[in-house]
A = this chain, B = another copy of it.
Amino acid sequence: MTTKERIAEEALNLFSVKGFRGTSVKNIADAVGIKDSSLYKHYKSKKEIFDGIVLEMRKRMENMSQYIGLPDDSDIQASARMYGELTLENLLELSRKIFLFYLTDDFISKFWRVATMEQYQNEEIYDIFRHIFMEESITYQTLVFREMIRNGIFIEVNPEVIAINFYTPIFFLLSKYNGRAEGKAEGLEILENQIKEFYRIYRKKNV
């Protein structure tokens, strides 16, 4: 790993705990093991380090669904078919995957925290946060659930309403446990109960 990459990494570590303003260039340099002045050979300002992190997040956004292990957006019908014989176990696995990805993926979970702290001072950060953590997942799941209704797997309810009922418990648990590793097991347990109930509500009974 280049020094430039190590700077970005340590900066994200620090930003995700102490925030942008709470982290000094010296803090970052110390973590990397160089003097603060040396850091300026790699980035011309502290803000530029931050912007690099934002850029990296934007890049990952583009192929987020691969990261979560979801089928590609371009083929919603296929994914709905994939969930064709949707069992409770399938659904639990999917929800756990999304939850644990956001919660434990190193870059994503730290970015969640940084964005949470910076959202009110930085419109761009809020837009990214909202897009990734509040809209994308719901938009995607809406399309999937719509197909599942069409295929007679789910009962006939507005698919966006279903998607919100699917996602908001996950969002809530992420808000509660991100940055608190101890809570992972507790979060998973609550999630399991919610998903079981979700399945009970929306899975069409085979007649």
Contact = CB atoms under 8 A, between A and B. Distances in A.
A167 B169 CA distance: 9
A55 interface: no
Number of chain A interface residues as a range: 20 to 34
Given A22-B121, A113-B120, A168-B172, A161 B194 contact: yes
Nearest to A193: B161
A70 interface: no
A76 interface: no
A81 interface: no
Contact of A19 (B121, B168, B194): B121
Given A171-B172, A172-B171, A175-B171, A197 B161 contact: yes
Given A19-B120, A116-B119, 8 more contacts: A17-B120, A18-B120, A116-B120, A117-B120, A157-B200, A164-B169, A171-B171, A172-B172
